[in-house]
Amino acid sequence: MSAQEAQWSEFVGNHAGDGILHALRTGPYSFETGGFLPEVVIGYETWGTLDEQGSNAVLIQHALTGDSHVSSGDSAEAGWWEGFVGPGKTVDTERFFVVCVNMLGGCYGSSGPSSLDPEGVPWGSRFPFTTVKDSVRIEARLADELGVDVWHTVLGGSMGGARALEWAVEFPQRVERAVVVAATTASSAEQIAFAQAQCAAIRLDPAFADGDYYAAQAPGPVAGLGIARRIAHITYRSEPEMEVRFGRAHQLGENPLGSPARDRGRYQVESYLDHQASKLVSRFDANSYLVLTEALMSHDVGRGYGSVDAALARTAGVRFLVAAVDSDRLYWPEQSERLAASLPVPVPVNYITSPIGHDGFLTDIDQLSPVLESDFLSPEH
Amino acid sequence: MSAQEAQWSEFVGNHAGDGILHALRTGPYSFETGGFLPEVVIGYETWGTLDEQGSNAVLIQHALTGDSHVSSGDSAEAGWWEGFVGPGKTVDTERFFVVCVNMLGGCYGSSGPSSLDPEGVPWGSRFPFTTVKDSVRIEARLADELGVDVWHTVLGGSMGGARALEWAVEFPQRVERAVVVAATTASSAEQIAFAQAQCAAIRLDPAFADGDYYAAQAPGPVAGLGIARRIAHITYRSEPEMEVRFGRAHQLGENPLGSPARDRGRYQVESYLDHQASKLVSRFDANSYLVLTEALMSHDVGRGYGSVDAALARTAGVRFLVAAVDSDRLYWPEQSERLAASLPVPVPVNYITSPIGHDGFLTDIDQLSPVLESDFLSPEH
């Protein structure tokens, strides 16, 4: 157990405040594809109070590099869906008991490659191959601990949408409603392809050291992780948005046309992507990026059930809301349409209208507020 | 001059056959952005015979990693547009004198980073920053040598389309017709963004050695170049094509879900991209990839003329055919539409209908044969 984990463990079962990171030791765990950890710790935050019937629990699932801090609560830090989750908000923390869990394999409180093994050495390259199903199964242990037998709603976008859908498939008796935004039943060939290039860039970095770079004083494979983020970020946005924001403008004081010796400055869009890369590498572990990216590549609700349709058939008792961003070119709207049409009770797709692409699920989630407030999350439900 | 260049120089002015690589020493050259080479050699191939009026010359421009071998001619090797260029084909080498030039900065016969300086050392990192305008200006020297005052037609796709358009802008009096397929007036923010990630991957490879890797016995930054190619190749294809071809299938005998130690096999789409990367690194120089990619990033016909519109105004005497691939998501059809509408004499966009994306300009160019044969390249013209 790391020092950080030791600190968190003080909070286990002691919900000191809303939006404060807690940790739960969930015991040993055998992973879907064969790995094993003697102890899995899960980092999570909660907001509000579980009612006596245990009927008002909402699980919010974060995306690839997200964390459990979806709303500020009693902390000073704004959450990543601050305008959407909180007192009086669409996900009203005065009515609902809201839970957000750091995904297994991540680096924000849950066991991941940077966590320490029983001998005090980071797992690094030895951290098991992790799937979306693994994350959901571990989250079920947390639900048990919190006294949540059935989630009123499980809600997420992007990889969080994949996790919400996996909850409905793995534990259909424990999910009343699922809100799946900008996500698919299974990662597509193209999504796998973009992910492969990202993983390869991290592994190419000499500082990666086959995944066991924690002992070094150097910051690890930040150059490779930065390239991965650049690739990913392009796919999170849209061509028109980048064109309107940056076009071919040169970064102030730089000349991208180069000197005679071929050194050159940057276009604004390059500086922007450098900034995105820099922000990520300062807050995210490269091994966690690999583990979670490979988990996303493995995403397939049908695995273990014979087919996607057979898996979805399990969700007949779950009410679904499926949403997509109209300009998304990573999780294409057609994929949400296929998911919605494949459900035991097909539903229409709700569209977030945004010019920016996939990231619209973060920036424009409030477009789903009317349908959620009048239906899924209304006081009558 | 390298041994290879010495061999080519035997062919200068001695057109031994169709589809046979020739080379021309064009003398010293000052690059658009300030670089200088004491001698620029240009590799090229020709097919057919220039008529006495010099009126039947067609210039075909290759794309980023292409070469001058567009048709087999007297060689045993098929060309990259074999079905489109040749005796009796749309670009009929029995009627036209066809020329195809290896782009300046490349590695197929023209001066590039792997060429030797006067002291016999590869230029490597010292090779000047090169633009599309540079390539066209050097090609004009070749046209002079070949006795081509005016091209009947200049034709190209992707970066070849950019080069065709640049010919019309730089030398409007020397271009009667221009066929611009799947190309833009200027590289967009998104195209720059994808290119940046590719260049960064090459430079991250420890074998890159700041561009001066030729002395080493090792094959150079093939891992980085392979990642660049993977990224690029995804953008050359379409999401639906990859999904139909590969979906989530596992590569035969491999398990992408991983072992407990997280090593894993590949999805088929990963194996496919590995194969694409492997093919490219065996035939292309990483420095040339950088030089040409940065040239493509710099592509902007308006540079030096105040604006794109001012540059296009120069082409009032040129007849244009603009074409796009309907599923292209790197050179979006909207960009071809804007180009076509911005010409002094606006034209409609001809569409290549293909599910595969940008690469449709290579695989389905014959869809342009009817319009070309009945108009631009008809016997009456």
Q: Give CATH for domain B3-187+304-376.
A: 3.40.50.1820
**CA A21 from centre of chain:** 16
Domain range summary for chain A, segments of one domain joined by +: 3-187+300-376, 191-293
| Pairwise CA distance, residues B156 & B62, whole Å | 6
Name which of A142, A156, A192, A196 is nearest A12 in CA terms: A142
| Pairwise CA distance, residues A205 & A221, whole Å | 6
Please give the pLDDT value at position B261.
56
Number of H helices, E strands in chain B: 12, 12
Rounding to the nearest 10 degrees, give the CA dihedral for residues A368, A351, B243, A130: 0
Give the chain A residue whose CA is nearest to the CA of B191: A239
State chain B's mean pLDDT as an integer.
94
Residues 6+ apart with CB under 8 A from A275: none
For B122, which DSSP code? Answer: B
Burial of A55 (0-12, 13-18, 19+ CB in 10 A): middle
| Pairwise CA distance, residues A79 & A95, whole Å | 18
Cα Rg of chain A (Å, integer): 21
* Any A CB within 8 A of B361 CB: no
Above 60 in pLDDT, residue B185? Answer: yes
Tokens 């049908």 belong to which residue? A302
* Contact criterion met (CB < 8 Å) for A36 and B260: yes
Please give the pLDDT value at position B13.
47
- Torsion sign (Cα): A127, A130, A136, A137: negative
- Give the number of other CB atoms < 10 A from CB of residue B53: 8
Query: How many angstroms separate the CA of residue A57 from the nearest CA in chain B?
Result: 32
Q: Tens digits of per-residue pLDDT, B197-213?
A: 999 999 999 999 999 99
Please give the pLDDT value at position A15.
59
Q: For residue B6, name the pLDDT band (cuts at 50, 70, 90).
A: very low
Q: For residue B15, name the pLDDT band (cuts at 50, 70, 90).
A: low
Please give the pLDDT value at position A10.
45
- Annotated active-site residue B328? The verdict is yes
Show residues of chain A in contact with B234, CB under 8 Å. 190, 193-194, 197
Among A residues 284-343, those touching chain B with beta carbons less than 8 Å apart: 291, 294, 297-298, 300, 329, 332
Tokens of residue B145, six digits: 């040598």
Which of A128, A197, A226 is closest, CB to CB, to B230?
A197
Name which of B285, B262, B320, B325 is nearest B124 in CA terms: B285
Q: In Å, how far are A104, A259, B12, B300 from B34, measured between CA atoms?
A: 53, 7, 28, 17
Please give the pLDDT value at position B379.
80
* Contact criterion met (CB < 8 Å) for B35 and A298: no
Mutate to test the interface with B, among A184, A198, A222, A231 (most CBs of B within 10 A): A231
- Residue with the bigger pLDDT between B5 and A194: it is A194
| Pairwise CA distance, residues B141 & A173, whole Å | 75
Please give the pLDDT value at position A16.
67
Please give the pLDDT value at position B8.
46
Measured in residues, chain A has a length of 381
Count contacts between A and B (CB, < 8 Å).
191
Please give the pLDDT value at position A263.
72
Please give the pLDDT value at position B16.
67
On whether A229 is known to bind a ligand per the annotation, the reply is: yes
What is the pairing mode between strands B36-37 and B85-86?
Answer: unpaired
**What residues of chain A score a pLDDT lower than 50?**
1-14
Which CATH fold would you assign to the domain B191-293? Rna Polymerase Sigma Factor; Chain: A (1.10.1740)
Mutate to test the interface with A, among B134, B191, B194, B196 (most CBs of A within 10 A): B196
Specify whether domain A3-187+300-376 bears CATH 3.40.30.10. no
Please give the pLDDT value at position B9.
43
Which residues of A are catalytically annotated?
158, 328, 358
Please give the pLDDT value at position B219.
86
* Contact criterion met (CB < 8 Å) for B129 and A256: no
* Contact criterion met (CB < 8 Å) for A262 and B192: no
Residue B315 has φ and ψ, to the nearest 5°, of -95, 20
Above 90 in pLDDT, residue B18? Answer: yes
Hey, is A95 helix, strand or coil?
coil
Which of B34, B247, B261 is closest, CB to CB, to A259?
B34
| Pairwise CA distance, residues A86 & A371, whole Å | 17
Show residues of chain A in contact with B197, CB under 8 Å. 201, 227, 230-231, 234, 273
Please give the pLDDT value at position B260.
55
Name which of B2, B37, B9 is nearest B23 in CA terms: B9
Of the given ranges (A11-25, B61-75, B282-296), which has the lowest mean pLDDT? A11-25
Identify whether the C-beta of residue B233 lies closer than 8 Å to the C-beta of residue B362.
Answer: no
Above 80 in pLDDT, residue B259? Answer: no
Burial of B90 (0-12, 13-18, 19+ CB in 10 A): buried
- Give mean pLDDT, residues B328-349: 97
Tokens of residue B212, six digits: 């001066």
Q: Tens digits of per-residue pLDDT, B219-245?
A: 899 999 999 999 999 999 999 999 999
Mutate to test the interface with B, among A133, A248, A288 (most CBs of B within 10 A): A248
Please give the pLDDT value at position A287.
97
Which listed residue (B68, B71, B110, B158) is catalytic? Answer: B158
* Any B CB within 8 A of A117 CB: no
Residue A321 has φ and ψ, to the nearest 5°, of -125, 120
